[in-house]
Chain A
Amino acid sequence: GAGVSQSPSNKVTEKGKDVELRCDPISGHTALYWYRQSLGQGLEFLIYFQGNSAPDKSGLPSDRFSAERTGGSVSTLTIQRTQQEDSAVYLCASTVRVANYGYTFGSGTRLTVV
């Protein structure tokens, strides 16, 4: 597609439930990143995928968070047993290659845990 697509745009879930957030990067972009934007916390890096290499998971805040990228394209961020502090906007970004630095961000998924 023309841009990075994220779904759903909004998600309200009950505390303790699992959620899946989806990111469709720009076709041909080999690098994909997930960030979290919390009120008052700015943007924090969560996870990075590059081709078939092992992902950089150093930013995941707890073992309740996981992500996968299937076929080098679509990525899913899963949050298990959601907590209220997980409420945030989750942003996905992709780039054709890391050295290019031409990151394109999606519009994000606003997650609210009630």
Chain B
Amino acid sequence: AQSVAQPEDQVNVAEGNPLTVKCTYSVSGNPYLFWYVQYPNRGLQFLLKYITGDNLVKGSYGFEAEFNKSQTSFHLKKPSALVSDSALYFCAVRGGNTGKLIFGQGTTLQVKP
């Protein structure tokens, strides 16, 4: 069965420093991977996805993610964090032909000035 793990409940980083939010997955077949962000009292906003192609995927708001098949990882990264990046981040994998998403538990990113 498809599954996603986000090993960190919270990541703290200083503004201007690089950030990484970790995600590992377990799928049968080719993985279709996603990152979403959720700001307080808001729905999920799409950041980026990996379906096929280049292992480095660039997305919204300066975020990028690297697909690593050997390590079954899809870590989210940003070279320089902003205070406004503070939010809850979800990694997800497609589960089955219906396109439903299987989400990780979420990681809270806290960027401090």
Given contacts A42-B104, A45-B100, contact A91 B94 (CB under 8 A): no
Neighbouring A residues of B92 by C-beta, 8 Å: 43
Neighbouring B residues of A42 by C-beta, 8 Å: 90, 103-106
Q: How far is the CA of A103 from the CA of B77 in the complex (A)?
A: 21
Judge whether B44 and A56 touch: CB under 8 Å.
Answer: no
Judge whether A101 and B43 touch: CB under 8 Å.
Answer: no
Q: Does A106 contact B (CB under 8 A)?
A: yes
Classify the interface of chain A: helix, strand, loop or mixed: strand
Q: Does A95 contact B (CB under 8 A)?
A: yes
Neighbouring B residues of A104 by C-beta, 8 Å: 46
Judge whether A45 and B95 touch: CB under 8 Å.
Answer: yes
Given contacts A42-B103, A101-B34, contact A4 B43 (CB under 8 A): yes
Instruction: Give chain B nearest CB distance to A100 CB in angstroms.
Output: 9
Classify the interface of chain B: helix, strand, loop or mixed: strand
The digit string for B17-41, where 1 denotes a CB below 8 A from any CB of A, is 0000000000000001010100001
Neighbouring B residues of A4 by C-beta, 8 Å: 43
Q: How far is the CA of A95 from the CA of B49 in the complex (A)?
A: 14
Residue of A nearest to B100 (CB): A45
Judge whether B43 and A103 touch: CB under 8 Å.
Answer: no
Judge whether B99 and A106 touch: CB under 8 Å.
Answer: no
Q: Which of B93-113 contact A (CB under 8 A)?
A: 94-95, 97-106
Q: Does B45 contact A (CB under 8 A)?
A: yes
Q: Does A65 contact B (CB under 8 A)?
A: no
Q: Does A75 contact B (CB under 8 A)?
A: no
Judge whether B98 and A103 touch: CB under 8 Å.
Answer: no
Instruction: Give chain B nearest CB distance to A75 CB in angstroms.
Output: 15
Instruction: Give chain A nearest CB distance to B57 CB in angstroms.
Output: 13
Neighbouring A residues of B44 by C-beta, 8 Å: 43, 91, 93, 105
